[in-house]
Structure 1
Amino acid sequence: MFKRAGEKNSNVKGYQFWHQNNHPIELWSIPMIKEKLEYIHNNPVKVGLVMEARESKHSSARNYTELDSVIPIENIGFLG
């Protein structure tokens, strides 16, 4: 499957894991940033990997609940 995806794209020399196209959006407000962050944090919950976002070892959701995380982030205060 990944090899087939890579063959369809001239920019790829072998296998392609991620989708080639993305749809960037401007995060222009704090509520929008919070919405997107919550969406990202809840992806592991949605697919059944964890029961709560903070349980995901590699998620920054842990940082916002003051649990130890393998991903250091700088909380600049406006997200909670």
Structure 2
Amino acid sequence: MDVLGARKFNTVKVPGKSAIQFGSSGLYEHKHIAVVNPNNYQIIVVTLSQISSSKNDAVYRRAYEHILKSITFN
């Protein structure tokens, strides 16, 4: 099971904005972050799929973190 658990939600910060982080499990473990765009109220969800391959997971994690850091709202 994802480190967050199937029904656990955490509040996190995406540059300057509150977001919700939650996990899901299926074929792979997933970590999701959902944030609302304050300009048009659309929900943006970024997902990290963890496939239990340390080499691939590390690459995916870096990309996931880079995407989260790059989210901005004008």
Same fold by TM-score, threshold 0.5 exceeded? no
Q: TM-score, normalised by structure 1?
A: 0.25
Q: Which has the larger radius of gyration?
A: 1
Larger RCO, structures 1/2 (Cα 8 Å, 6+ apart):
2
Structure with the higher helix share, 1 or 2: 1
Structure with the higher strand share, 1 or 2: 2
